[in-house]
Amino acid sequence: MPTEYAWFLPTGRYGDGYRINAKEPERPPTVEYLAEVARTAERAGFVNLLLPTGTHCLDAWMMAAAIAERTERIKFCVAFRPGLMSPVLTAQQAGTFDAITGGRLTVNVVTGSTQVDQKRYGDHLVHDDRYDRTDEFLDIVKALWADDGPVTFKGKYHDIEDASLYASPASKPYPPIYLGASSEAGRRVGAKHANVHMMWAVEAERAAQDATDMKKLAAEFGRKEELRFGLRMHIVCRETKEEARRAAEAMIEGSEIGNTKVWADMRNRTESEGQRRMNELGSQDSLWVTETMWMGVNAVRSGAGATLVGTPEMVAGALRAYVDAGVSNFILSGWPHVEEAEIFGKEVMPFLKDTEPVVL
């Protein structure tokens, strides 16, 4: 099965640089700098770019539109939160973006990791109710993208009458849907709707079990063969193991999770099963879970906390273990995002030819 390698755009208030979540970003998230990250990722062989969502970030739709004009082929995985906007408006925005870029859109559906940030947006639903709403939301969006006629829908959270859109996506049948969830409620929504079920990186054996469990759930919706599996993680690659470890540990020196309050709340006051997994891995006696997996990032930020650290051969070998476990999509990042993307493209990609990397 072909494997997709994607990169990340650091659009948050923390910006980019050699330190993670520094109090003052070394490289602020300007359009010019983010375009440089995107073009570097494109040259390195990455085929997709994740743009995050949350009150700590620049708006993902606007930034994707700006960066698309400054790149040629790379796709954009635009993260958004169902319930903060109408599903019809979201389908319209996504269809427009996909049409004007010639099919360069994928979407990352983020139901919400904690009530703290949801309430900042005025959303007060509890965890499982948010996933019920996401299920309705995606039913409507996919029906609109199918363009089989006006859509009428009356559910618990949405009441839509005779909706149809001029904006039709170029990607058929619709832009691929990435959805991350580790809770039972979230997994069921992902099994029903996702093209790619996203997970934060855990040990390869646990990732393999997650893939097996999700295949069983997807089979209940007749989608066992449709669902693919993705991992979100960070990369630090250097010529020697010792040099890579020094570079990784230097990234968190002088950084505090409280530098970005949203991250502190999301890590410490989380409802997310995925975040709990990261916290569990990061609270062990050693931050080195395996020879290549390091959990230091979890100490200074929320979200994806696992980092693969090592030589090009070590990093490629760890990624290949996940491919063998059933993973076909990787969303990677590294600090700074320009330099680490260059290293990955030149040093690691050649060792991954046997994973059949997708090219644009």
Neighbours of 277 (CB within 10 A): 18
> Looking at the domain 4-233+310-355, which fold is it?
TIM Barrel (3.20.20)
For β-strands 307-310 and 293-294, DSSP reports them as antiparallel
- Could you give the percent of the chain with pLDDT greater than 90? 72
Type of residue found at 83: G
Closest CA to 54 of 301, 238, 249: 301
How many angstroms separate the CA atoms of 136 and 341, rounded?
Answer: 37
**pLDDT at res. 301:** 75
Query: Is the model's pLDDT at 265 over the cut of 70?
Result: no
Given a contact cutoff of 8 angstroms between Cβ atoms, the answer to whether 322 and 330 are in contact is yes
Tokens coding 286: 């050693």
Given a contact cutoff of 8 angstroms between Cβ atoms, the answer to whether 271 and 302 are in contact is no
Closest CA to 77 of 333, 294, 324: 333
Given a contact cutoff of 8 angstroms between Cβ atoms, the answer to whether 110 and 138 are in contact is no
Q: Give the pLDDT confidence of 216-249 residue by residue, as tens digits.
A: 999 999 999 999 999 999 999 999 999 999 999 9
Strand-pairing partners, residue 160, are 153
Q: Give the pLDDT confidence of 158-168 residue by residue, as tens digits.
A: 999 999 999 99
pLDDT band at 23, cuts 50/70/90? confident
Mean pLDDT calculated for residue range 140-159 = 96
Q: Output the CA torsion 256→258→261→267 (10° steps).
A: 80
Given a contact cutoff of 8 angstroms between Cβ atoms, the answer to whether 214 and 184 are in contact is no
Given a contact cutoff of 8 angstroms between Cβ atoms, the answer to whether 127 and 183 are in contact is yes
Given a contact cutoff of 8 angstroms between Cβ atoms, the answer to whether 182 and 201 are in contact is no
How many angstroms separate the CA atoms of 94 and 106, rounded?
Answer: 9
Q: Give the pLDDT confidence of 169-184 residue by residue, as tens digits.
A: 999 999 999 998 888 8
- 3-state class (DSSP) for residue 233: strand
| Sign for the pseudo-dihedral over CA of 234, 110, 322, 302 | positive
Domain extent listing, the chain: 4-233+310-355
Type of residue found at 112: G
**Lowest-pLDDT choice from 12-26, 162-176, 183-197, 335-349:** 12-26
**pLDDT at res. 270:** 60
Mean pLDDT of the chain: 91
Mean pLDDT calculated for residue range 137-151 = 95
Q: Give the pLDDT confidence of 50-102 residue by residue, as tens digits.
A: 999 988 899 999 999 999 999 999 999 999 999 899 999 999 999 999 999 99
pLDDT band at 296, cuts 50/70/90? confident
- 3-state class (DSSP) for residue 10: coil
Task: Let me know how many helices (H) and strands (E) the chain has, helices first.
Answer: 12, 12
Strand-pairing partners, residue 80, are 109
Q: Give the pLDDT confidence of 188-212 residue by residue, as tens digits.
A: 999 999 999 999 878 889 899 999 9
**pLDDT at res. 218:** 96
Q: Give the pLDDT confidence of 270-292 residue by residue, as tens digits.
A: 666 666 776 676 567 788 889 99
Please name the residues in contact with 258: beta carbons below 8 A apart, sequence gap of 6 or more.
264
How many angstroms separate the CA atoms of 360 and 103, rounded?
Answer: 12
Query: Is the model's pLDDT at 260 over the cut of 60?
Result: no
How many angstroms separate the CA atoms of 34 and 29, rounded?
Answer: 6
Strand-pairing partners, residue 294, are 288, 307
Query: Is the model's pLDDT at 11 over the cut of 90?
Result: yes
Please name the residues in contact with 33: beta carbons below 8 A apart, sequence gap of 6 or more.
16, 27
**pLDDT at res. 302:** 66
Q: Taking the chain, what is the end-to-end CA distance rounded to the nearest angstrom?
A: 16
Residue with tokens 């010529």: 239
pLDDT band at 258, cuts 50/70/90? low
Helix spans in the chain (H): 31-44, 60-68, 87-100, 115-120, 127-146, 184-193, 204-220, 241-250, 261-268, 273-282, 312-324, 337-343
| Sign for the pseudo-dihedral over CA of 177, 183, 189, 192 | positive
Given a contact cutoff of 8 angstroms between Cβ atoms, the answer to whether 189 and 134 are in contact is yes
Type of residue found at 325: A
pLDDT band at 1, cuts 50/70/90? confident
